[in-house]
């Protein structure tokens, strides 16, 4: 393929590490919108006084600790390509949620489902490599980041836009000596867009059977919701440095209560739909499904208008609406911003969040 001296030749690859901070050659490559990984060394300047010396001396300045932070933002694919190296999103949902799924399960023929639920992120870390093209010599420079853990994720979609997933990463360190992996992009996947949000409902009863959560008797949202953002945040102790580790930190450990929150942007359509639930501290299930058939009208099994459309489904068994403001500021339709948070419903069986994918992705995650 041609090499461009610009972001046109940028690349991102990932692979799960066996040992935290031990680099592995990346094997999965992702079409992405942007990345902003930054290597952050900590500098210590010697403070000793020397007669006639006013400024810090370069010879007495050292790097003492190392850290990596950044985001990667991607369009959310539908998993219509079955290749092991395809940019299906199951790998990312496993890292984002700490889910226990290892291999998708067959639904029918070549249609496979993945059920991702919230779990501990202990032992979830990866090597990530970013290829950044430089102008000099028209070469792509490799930046390899080890010990990468997802500390926050944001899913978003708005009117007339493609759905996006942003993963916020904490890493151990960076290397520029690891060679650039050859990016491999097989048959591209399709994408989920705002138009694919076919099922959006609140209320009903959430139950979990055989590891999969469903909601019965929910009611379709009648408000015209024009955007949704869902954020999962996992607080971690990310400063586990110590003597004898050459300034490298240990695996970050979850050290506070994680949260899943979100915002709906909508019209003020019906006070009872969101505002009254906010006012009364009501708890309700919520489900949002994105689904479609491919351009030929086939489902994930390859059957025209079959039973298994490509699917991205979010289920929250217990949601509280924690804000629902609406104000008259112009002659226009009154906008409403609704903030929500997902909770443990206390059942002992339902997860806080379930992300279900139906696609052709059949390989281990």
Over residues 53-98, the pLDDT tens digits come to 999 999 999 999 999 999 999 999 999 987 766 678 999 999 999 9
Over residues 246-292, the pLDDT tens digits come to 999 999 999 999 999 999 999 999 999 999 999 999 999 999 999 99
Q: What does the pLDDT read at residue 314?
A: 98
Q: What does the pLDDT read at residue 84?
A: 64
Report yes or no on whether pTM surpasses 0.75: yes
Q: What does the pLDDT read at residue 363?
A: 86
Task: Indicate whether 292 belongs to any domain.
Answer: yes
Over residues 109-159, the pLDDT tens digits come to 999 999 999 999 999 999 999 999 999 999 999 999 999 999 999 999 999
Q: How confident is the model at residue 192 (pLDDT cuts 50, 70, 90)?
A: very high
Task: Indicate whether 57 belongs to any domain.
Answer: no
Task: Indicate whether 54 belongs to any domain.
Answer: no
Q: What does the pLDDT read at residue 185?
A: 83
Q: How confident is the model at residue 205 (pLDDT cuts 50, 70, 90)?
A: very high
Task: Indicate whether 329 belongs to any domain.
Answer: yes
Task: Indicate whether 55 belongs to any domain.
Answer: no
Q: What does the pLDDT read at residue 202?
A: 98
Over residues 334-352, the pLDDT tens digits come to 999 999 999 999 999 999 9
Over residues 26-48, the pLDDT tens digits come to 999 999 999 999 999 999 999 99
- CB-based contact 283:343 (threshold 8 Å): yes
Over residues 287-322, the pLDDT tens digits come to 999 999 998 999 999 999 899 999 999 999 999 999
Q: What does the pLDDT read at residue 212?
A: 98
Range of the domain at 154: 7-41+63-359
Number of domain units in the chain: 1
Task: Indicate whether 53 belongs to any domain.
Answer: no
Task: Indicate whether 58 belongs to any domain.
Answer: no
Task: Indicate whether 288 belongs to any domain.
Answer: yes
pLDDT, the chain, mean: 96
């Amino acid at each position: 393929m041609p090499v461009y001296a610009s972001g046109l030749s940028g690349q991102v690859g990932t692979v799960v590490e066996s040992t935290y901070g031990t680099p592995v050659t990346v094997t999965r490559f992702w079409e992405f919108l942007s990345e902003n990984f930054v290597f952050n060394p900590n500098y210590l300047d010697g403070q000793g006084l020397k007669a006639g010396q006013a400024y810090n001396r370069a010879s007495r300045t050292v790097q003492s600790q190392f850290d990596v932070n950044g985001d990667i933002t991607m369009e959310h694919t539908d998993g219509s390509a079955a290749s092991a190296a395809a940019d299906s999103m199951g790998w990312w949902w496993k890292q984002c949620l700490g889910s226990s799924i290892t291999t998708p399960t067959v639904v029918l023929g070549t249609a496979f489902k993945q059920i991702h639920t919230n779990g501990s992120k202990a032992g979830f870390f990866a090597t990530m490599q970013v290829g950044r093209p430089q102008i000099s010599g028209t070469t792509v420079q490799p930046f390899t980041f080890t010990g990468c853990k997802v500390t926050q994720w944001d899913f978003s979609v708005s009117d007339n836009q493609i759905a996006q997933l942003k993963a916020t990463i904490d890493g151990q360190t960076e290397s520029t000596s690891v060679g650039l992996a050859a990016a491999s992009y097989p048959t591209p996947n399709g994408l989920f867009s705002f138009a694919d949000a076919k099922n959006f409902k609140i209320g009903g009863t959430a139950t979990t059977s055989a590891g999969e959560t469903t909601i019965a008797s929910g009611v379709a949202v009648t408000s015209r919701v024009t955007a949704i953002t869902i954020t999962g945040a996992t607080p971690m102790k990310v400063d586990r440095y110590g003597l004898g580790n050459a300034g490298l930190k240990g695996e970050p450990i979850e050290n506070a209560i994680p949260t899943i929150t979100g915002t709906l942007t909508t019209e003020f359509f019906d006070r009872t739909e969101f505002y009254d639930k906010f006012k009364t501290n009501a708890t309700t299930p919520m489900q949002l499904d994105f689904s479609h058939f491919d351009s030929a009208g086939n489902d994930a099994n390859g059957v025209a208008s079959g039973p298994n459309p490509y699917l991205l489904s979010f289920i929250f068994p217990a949601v509280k609406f924690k804000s629902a403001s609406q104000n008259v500021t112009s002659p226009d339709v009154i906008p409403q911003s609704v903030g929500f948070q997902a909770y443990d419903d206390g059942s002992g069986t339902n997860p806080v969040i379930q992300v279900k994918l139906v696609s052709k992705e059949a390989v281990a995650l």
